[in-house]
Structure 1
């Protein structure tokens, strides 16, 4: 997913308008999938041979 967030800097004024959501998520057109191979305790490296 692509995730977009925004923050409110000023409180809304002037009525009851519709503001967009603070967080929006949309699926990626071509998602990438990885199989992970543990190399070290701190590091993960994708294993694309499988």
Structure 2
């Protein structure tokens, strides 16, 4: 699947509320990506917003 940079899908980061674009490394799990960076993901963990245990 080839993408032109103008047509890449985007999402909004749940931590910083900034938009971020699709990356090739996220191709298999794009639907599950919620954060734009490791920094935002780690801030989520520090704030206690991690997923509840089943």
TM-score (norm 2): 0.21
Task: Kindly indicate whether structure 1 or structure 2 has the higher relative contact order, using CA contacts under 8 Å at least 6 residues apart.
Answer: 1
Task: Indicate the structure (1 or 2) with the bigger Cα radius of gyration.
Answer: 1
TM-score (norm 1): 0.21
Structure ranking higher in helix proportion:
2
Structure ranking higher in strand proportion:
1
